[in-house]
Amino acid sequence: MTNLKFITQFLDELGYCLSVGQAPSQGLVYALDNDIVIKLPLQYIIPDDLDDDAIFYINHGVRGFVAMERELAVYDAAANRRHPNIAQRLKVDSSDCLFLERLQPLEQTWVNADEMIRHRWVRELLDGTTCLEELGFTQGDIAVRNLAVDSSNHLKLFDFGSATTQHHYDYAADVKRDHSGLATCLHYILTGVDPFANVYSAQEVRQIETQLLEGRGTVGASAEILTDVIQAGWTGQAASTKFSEVKERVEAIIGVAGPEIASKTTEEHYRRLESRCAEWLKRATLDQRWMNPDDYCAACRAKGYEAEMDIWR
C-alpha cells in the first residue's frame, strides 16, 4: 500500500508520538512534555491520481475530523465540571485540537497494584462511565487501551472520538458494544487478562467477540466475584441496562468507595498546565497548507473524489 504524506495544523516539532497504527482514524497524539499531550487531526496531501490506496488514507483523515468533533462535544458537555475519572482537557483557546493532561497507560502500571487498588479502579471506571451516561453519551470504544492512571494512581477514561449521543442512530448498538468493552475492562482490572491482547487481525477480533457473545468467555479467578456482571456484558444481556445500574450492582458486591487518597492534581495544577499550553500555542507556527474540514472535502471533490463527513458522523 502506498503511503500518503500528511500534515497537521503545525509546522513545529510536536514531540514524541503516542499514537499507534498505520493510518490513525482518530487523529494523532503527541507528548509535548511529561505533563501535557496534544491531540489533533491529520490531513493527507491530496494527490492528482486518486487510486484506492489514496482514498483509503483520505477517508481516515476525514474520519479524524469527525472524531475530533465528537471528542470536543464530550468535553464541551463536561465543561462545567472536572470529573476525577475523565482525562482532563486543558482549557486553551483552540477549537480544532485538544490539549490534555498526560496519563500513564493502565497496562503499564497494573502489575504494581494490589487488590484494594484494583477494586478502587473498578469503582472509578464505573464512575467515569456513569458520568458520560449522565452527560448523554456513551464512549463508543470502552477498551483497556483507553484507560490510564494519573500521578495519584486514580483511573481515568480517555479517547472519546467514537462517542455518540443518545440521539444518534447507532446509540443502542454503541451502548451494547460498550457494555462488552466494560466487561473486558473489569476483567482486566481484576485479573490482568485482556481477551483481546496480542490480537492483530480483524478476523481474530471477530472470533473472540463471537466466543464472548456465545457465553464461552472464561472469567479468571480474581474476577469471579463479578462473573455475572462480566458475562452479562460479554453476552449482550446487559445491552439495555444503564451503566449507573451496573455501578450499583458492582458496588453491592465489592463495596462502595471508602476513604480514598486525595488526588494531587489540584485546580491550580491544571491552571499552570493551561498557561503552558497557551504559551506553546503562541510560539507555534501554523502550516498554511492546512484546510478546514469543509475546504478539505471540497478539494477532494475537485480532484474527483466525493469526500463527505456526514457518512462518518
pTM summary value: 0.94
Q: Is the dihedral of CA 68, 73, 74, 79 positive or negative?
A: positive
C-alpha cell at 2: 502506498
- Cell numbers 483497556 correspond to 144
Note the pLDDT of residue 200.
85
70 within domain boundaries: yes
Q: Is residue 86 part of a domain?
A: yes
Determine phi and psi for 153, rounding to 5 degrees: 70, 25
1 occurs within a structural domain: no
Can you give the pLDDT at residue 261? 58
Assess contact for 40 and 28: CB atoms under 8 A: yes
Question: Measured between alpha carbons, how far is 103 from 159 in angstroms, rounded to an integer?
Answer: 12
> Residue ranges of the alpha helices (H) in 110-265?
115-134, 171-191, 202-213, 227-235, 243-254
Predicted local distance difference test score (pLDDT) of residue 49: 87
Q: Which DSSP category does 199 fall into?
A: -
Domain at 59, CATH number? 1.10.510.10
- The residue written with cell numbers 481515568 in the block is 156
Q: How many domains does the chain have?
A: 1
- Tens digits of pLDDT across the chain (313 residues): 567 899 999 999 888 998 865 556 678 999 999 999 999 999 999 999 889 999 999 998 999 999 999 999 999 999 887 899 999 999 998 878 999 999 999 999 999 999 999 999 999 999 999 999 999 999 999 999 999 999 999 999 999 999 999 999 999 999 999 999 999 999 999 999 999 998 889 999 999 999 999 999 999 999 999 999 999 999 999 999 999 999 999 999 999 876 665 566 788 999 999 999 999 999 999 999 999 999 999 999 999 999 999 988 8
* Nearest-10 crossing angle of helices 171-191, 115-134: 170
Q: CA-to-CA distance for 73 and 232, rounded, in angstroms?
A: 30
Residue type (1 letter), 306: E
Q: Which domain, by its residues, includes 185?
A: 6-312
Residues 93, 254: Cα–Cα separation, whole Å: 42
